[in-house]
Structure 1
């Protein structure tokens, strides 16, 4: 199971979107070098207010470019980095991965999938009505969240657009992704 890196993004300041870069460097146990969300403990402002000592399970945000194709069909133009993700992928079903999956990004970097991104109201501030496109009814009456996945860096390395993405599933039983 694999795909490719379509884009990489980072931002040193708190902002909803992240500018695209030629490359990003992942740092083991921290996240994206120079990104505001990098750190051992949580860096999300809302979560820091609740408990700043909790571990940072959201070091690297990945989202599938296929979501942008889908929302474009509903009239929303969204480009890589605009939903705050660090790595935009193509050709891999990120939302179908179980918790604990290892994703190899490029030649060296490895991240471990921790869960789903919890979509926030800023998505509608960015594009009014977009939240309904990324959160909707699922087949089992629970909300289907499609705003990407979160991960922690296991092995650091440089990640560039065009790099391969390879998934290594954990030993079973597989646990579905929950919001982190």
Structure 2
């Protein structure tokens, strides 16, 4: 069942640090764009970032996709988890290296916390690797309960990240 009301605007974080992470992220954009009742509106550049939590692993490639969807938040989350499975994601331990990680960051201005889904995504307001690509494609976006993403990004100035040339041209 899909939400037949006006499609929602949602933002999805993409992360990878295994099996050619830049290509994994680019393939993830395509997989997200192919979801039913969903349109990819924009996508960020790719960013190279150090791992958070478990440090003994390769650096990550991170990005954010802006989509418009008629899927409900739980349907969208389930679809993202299916994409992770298709890409070969294995959940061995918290913050482990991964082929792909897809996190539902925002779904309109919805704030909710229930089994399996918290919106906005917890800690997104503290992580430059989420905020920089988000602000790149939605400079005026606010994170419900935390204020403007750009202001949150400014507070993460001590976190290193580097934009990566992925060959994609903005028009």
TM over 0.5: no
TM-score of the pair, normalised by structure 1: 0.26
Structure showing the higher helix proportion among its residues: 2
